[in-house]
């Protein structure tokens, strides 16, 4: 029997950092996609991130896996975690508001727990996890607000694209555990290089970027931030936590992304926090505590000690 996957304090801290980096991706993409078509933006994101991680790996003395059977699974991971979801999300963001996109993205843990239950032996569904996932998803709905739900049923194809991206992330989270023996920098750089090769012909055929006007400085800076912060650095965190805590625990980050976006807006943009934001954050915290299990175990031990 394999030991059940758990989350350490350092894993939770890394997930919080990852939520900030990935929360920023919606902001950066929202700026860049106004001037850069979806396929071209997805290509620029992975190409720049691949270059950054390849340089980093070289600087610390790491090398990519030799050409062989390992590159087949890496190519599958590239499709599931980069090529398909990036393109789907960027395209959907040209048709639906960011709030609704965040809600649909927050379904990722719901799909992940189903995939992981049937595909693994140590990442299974439990009543506590189901209750925690329900509480977390309700918290996301409360944080983002009811206005986003009014867009449901409008631009259905774009909404389905966001849901399909969430499913891709769920499957990739489970599939990516096979790379746990590779260092995060190595597997991240390898997957991003494969993604770049795949997206190049798609971007050239679909967008003909050489015929488009030069993007503004703001769009270029947003693209660079999307690649460096929300992809290159985020991937190092992603594969480290995935190897230690499993897909279901890792992809709880999507519950925290809206919280990060709200708090960043309050800190740096002067946005006002409303009562519903605190209520929603509380629901998300309860959900994460239920999934983590340590508060329940501590309470049970306290009761046994007093008995």
Instruction: Assess whether pLDDT exceeds 80 at residue 103.
Output: no
From CA 277, how far away is CA 280, in angstroms rounded? Answer: 5
Specify the higher pLDDT residue, 243 or 147.
Answer: 243
Nearest to 187 by CA among 237, 228, 239: 239
Q: Is 37 left (phi over 0), alpha (psi -120 to 50) or beta?
A: beta
pLDDT category at 306 given cuts 50, 70, 90 is: low
Which pLDDT score is estimated for 131?
84
Tens of pLDDT, residue by residue over 205-215, are 988 988 989 99
Specify the higher pLDDT residue, 111 or 273.
Answer: 111
Instruction: Assess whether pLDDT exceeds 60 at residue 3.
Output: no
Which pLDDT score is estimated for 291?
72
Which pLDDT score is estimated for 54?
93
Average pLDDT over residues 5-12: 76
Average pLDDT over residues 100-109: 79
Average pLDDT over residues 162-189: 90
Which pLDDT score is estimated for 153?
63
Specify the higher pLDDT residue, 221 or 250.
Answer: 221
Contact 184, 233 (CB under 8 A): no
Mean pLDDT of the chain: 84
From CA 26, how far away is CA 225, in angstroms rounded? Answer: 11
Question: Among 38-47, 59-68, 130-139, 160-169, where is mean pLDDT lowest?
Answer: 130-139
Which pLDDT score is estimated for 299?
60
Tens of pLDDT, residue by residue over 17-40, are 998 898 777 778 878 888 999 889
Burial 95-126 (b: 16+ CB within 10 A, else e): bbbbbbbbbbbbbbbbbbbebbbeebeebeee
Average pLDDT over residues 40-44: 92
From CA 83, how far away is CA 42, in angstroms rounded? Answer: 7
Average pLDDT over residues 120-144: 81
Instruction: Assess whether pLDDT exceeds 80 at residue 282.
Output: yes
Instruction: Assess whether pLDDT exceeds 50 at residue 41.
Output: yes
For the chain, where are the alpha helices, taking DSSP H only?
A: 9-32, 38-59, 71-78, 84-92, 98-105, 108-119, 127-144, 156-175, 184-207, 217-227, 234-245, 247-250, 253-268, 275-292, 294-306
pLDDT category at 268 given cuts 50, 70, 90 is: low
Instruction: Assess whether pLDDT exceeds 50 at residue 1.
Output: no
Specify the higher pLDDT residue, 102 or 78.
Answer: 78
Instruction: Assess whether pLDDT exceeds 80 at residue 251.
Output: no
């Amino acid at each position: 029997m394999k030991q059940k996957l758990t989350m350490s304090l350092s894993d939770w801290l890394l997930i919080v950092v990852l939520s900030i980096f990935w929360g920023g991706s919606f902001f950066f993409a929202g700026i860049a996609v106004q001037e850069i078509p979806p396929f071209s933006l997805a290509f620029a994101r992975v190409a720049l991130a691949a270059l950054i991680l390849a340089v980093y790996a070289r600087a610390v003395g790491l090398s990519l896996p030799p050409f062989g059977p390992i590159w087949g699974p890496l190519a599958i991971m590239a499709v599931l975690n980069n090529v398909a979801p990036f393109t789907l999300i960027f395209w959907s963001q040209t048709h639906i508001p960011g709030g609704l996109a965040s809600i649909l993205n927050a379904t990722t843990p719901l799909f992940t727990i189903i995939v992981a239950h049937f595909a693994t032996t140590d990442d299974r569904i439990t009543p506590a996890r189901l209750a925690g996932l329900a509480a977390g998803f309700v918290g996301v709905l409360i944080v983002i607000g009811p206005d986003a739900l009014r867009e449901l049923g409008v631009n259905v194809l774009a909404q389905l694209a966001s849901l399909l991206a969430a499913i891709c992330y769920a499957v990739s989270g489970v599939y990516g555990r096979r790379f746990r023996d590779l260092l995060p920098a190595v597997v991240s750089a390898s997957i991003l290089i494969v993604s770049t090769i795949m997206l190049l012909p798609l971007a050239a055929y679909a967008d003909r970027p050489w015929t488009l006007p030069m993007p503004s400085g703001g769009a270029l800076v947003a693209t660079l931030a999307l690649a460096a912060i929300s992809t290159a650095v985020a991937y190092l965190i992603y594969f480290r936590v995935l190897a230690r805590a499993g897909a279901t625990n890792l992809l709880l980050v999507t519950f925290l992304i809206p919280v990060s976006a709200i708090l960043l807006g309050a800190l740096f943009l002067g946005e006002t926090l409303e009562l519903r934001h605190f209520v929603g954050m509380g629901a998300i915290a309860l959900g994460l505590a239920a999934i983590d299990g340590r508060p329940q175990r501590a309470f049970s031990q306290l009761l046994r000690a007093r008995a």
